[in-house]
Amino acid sequence: MTIKILGSGCPNCQTLESNAKKAVEELGLKDVQIEHIYDINKIIEYGVMSTPAIVIDEQVKASGRIPDVEEIKSWLK
């Protein structure tokens, strides 16, 4: 499983990345890669117009907001 955080590295993006890491940890998931995409052209390729955004296995789950840990966990189950 791959989780991508899309954003410039702003505090909101960092919070989203932290929430994603916590969700993975709380579920005890193994073999999960979390990467942060900073390149605006790559972000646009996902059709994301506002950041931060989270992509799980190439599906955009949320953009322009910070999902909480529980919501991210629901996507990972």
Q: What is the pLDDT of residue 69?
A: 98
- The string of pLDDT tens digits covering residues 8-33 is 999 999 999 999 999 999 999 999 99
d(CA 59, CA 13): 18
CATH class held by domain 2-76: alpha beta
> Domain extents for the chain?
2-76
Place of tokens 């890491």: 21
- The string of pLDDT tens digits covering residues 33-69 is 999 999 999 999 999 999 999 999 999 999 999 999 9
Beta-carbon neighbour count of residue 16 at 10 Å? 25
Q: What is the pLDDT of residue 59?
A: 98
- Catalytic site residues? 10, 13
Q: What is the pLDDT of residue 31?
A: 93
